[in-house]
Amino acid sequence: MANKIVILGSLNLDSILQISRLPQPGETLSMTGKNSAPGGKGANQAVAAARAGGAQTAFIGRVGQDETGNFLLETLKKDHIETDHIVVDHQKDTGQAYILLQTTTGQNSILVYGGANQNLSLTDVKNAHSIIKEADFLISQFETPVEVTTAAFVYAHNVGVKTILNPAPALDQIPAQLLAATDLICPNETEAQALSNVSVTDLNSMRQAAAFFQKQGCARTIITLGARGAYIYDNQHKIDQFVDAFKVKAVDTTAAGDTFIGALGAVLKTDFSNLVAATLYANRASSLAVQKLGAQPSIPTADQVQSYFN
């Protein structure tokens, strides 16, 4: 039976600016291409959970009262994501992201205008208690106010719902109350280093970063390492290992991490007993996503992910 996933997070329209390399200060470069696609870390993860993992997915968020917001809502509905708890904000426009995509490497640099995402409120969380309570996992990131995520995670923790935190973009410090209510934290290596003050370079340093999170109340850590794969630490199940990435030619890495998180949550058991297998599945989904342009358009279906295991 498919997991029930609730995502609390951001919805953005991505403008993808294709360039050969990043410009130097004061330099003007010509773009080699330009297009747009639905995005936002929260929305990307929701689409990945629904599309790549087959999860029953609901969303808590905000869009502006504009055509962009309507477009993003309709996009989620096409993947059968419940949008009843996405509030239409009357003060701010829908979020926007500007992605500088280096066509030679597939690497990206991203500028984000939070817009309506930053107006997500404690009331929005309270109004969504009913769907959180029925979920297997609640997933969130840091493109919406951290105090709202904290309130949602504390409620989920109190009613026995498992929580997955993707601390991106990294904050200088995560509230202790939020970490204590987090069952699994999933930073990338840069975010892990920023949060733990451990230079994440090898297995030993990854263990040190995971130990830092464990002291804060997180029993499990997955550090995503891009083309190298992922490191998993789970004290309960005595897991301390790498899961290698699949070797592919990257075209656009924009949704790689979000695809990983969404796919992971969709197939993960609530007792975390299949954490290694779920990470392998998420790695495969992510490796497929980086081979196509755009965030949500690149996210594979569950059938496409499964076909690589057969």
Ligand-binding site membership of 144 (annotated): no
Residue 303 assigned ligand-binding role: no
Residue 34, marked binder: no
294 is in an annotated binding site: yes
Residue 226 labelled as part of a binding site = yes
For residues 100 and 19, is the Cβ–Cβ distance under 8 A? yes
The continuous run of DSSP H or E covering 278 comes out as helix 275-289
252 is in an annotated binding site: yes
Instruction: Tell me what percent of the chain is helix, strand and coil, each rounded to the nearest 5.
Output: 40, 25, 35
Beta-sheet pairing, 12-19 with 33-39: antiparallel
Whether 283 has a binding-site annotation, put simply, is yes
Q: Which of 251, 230, 300 minimizes the C-alpha distance to 47? A: 300
Q: Residue 258 annotated as binding?
A: yes
Half-sphere exposure of 281 (CA within 13 A, CB side): 24
> Is 66 known to be catalytic?
no
Asked whether residue 101 is marked as a ligand-binding residue, the answer is no
Q: Is 292 annotated as a binding residue?
A: yes
| CA dihedral angle for residue 202, residue 206, residue 208, residue 214, rounded to 10 degrees | -170
The number of residues in the chain equals: 310
Token pair of 175 as six digits: 């509230």
42 is in an annotated binding site: yes
Which listed residue (202, 258, 271, 303) is catalytic? Answer: 258
> Between β-strands 56-64 and 4-8, what pairing exists: parallel, antiparallel or unpaired?
parallel
Q: Which two tokens stand for residue 24?
A: 């130097």
Annotated binding site for ATP: 188, 224-229, 257-258, 283
Active-site residue set? 258
Which residues are documented as binding site? 12-14, 40-44, 143, 188, 224-229, 252, 254, 257-258, 283, 289, 292, 294, 298
Annotated binding site for substrate: 12-14, 40-44, 143, 258
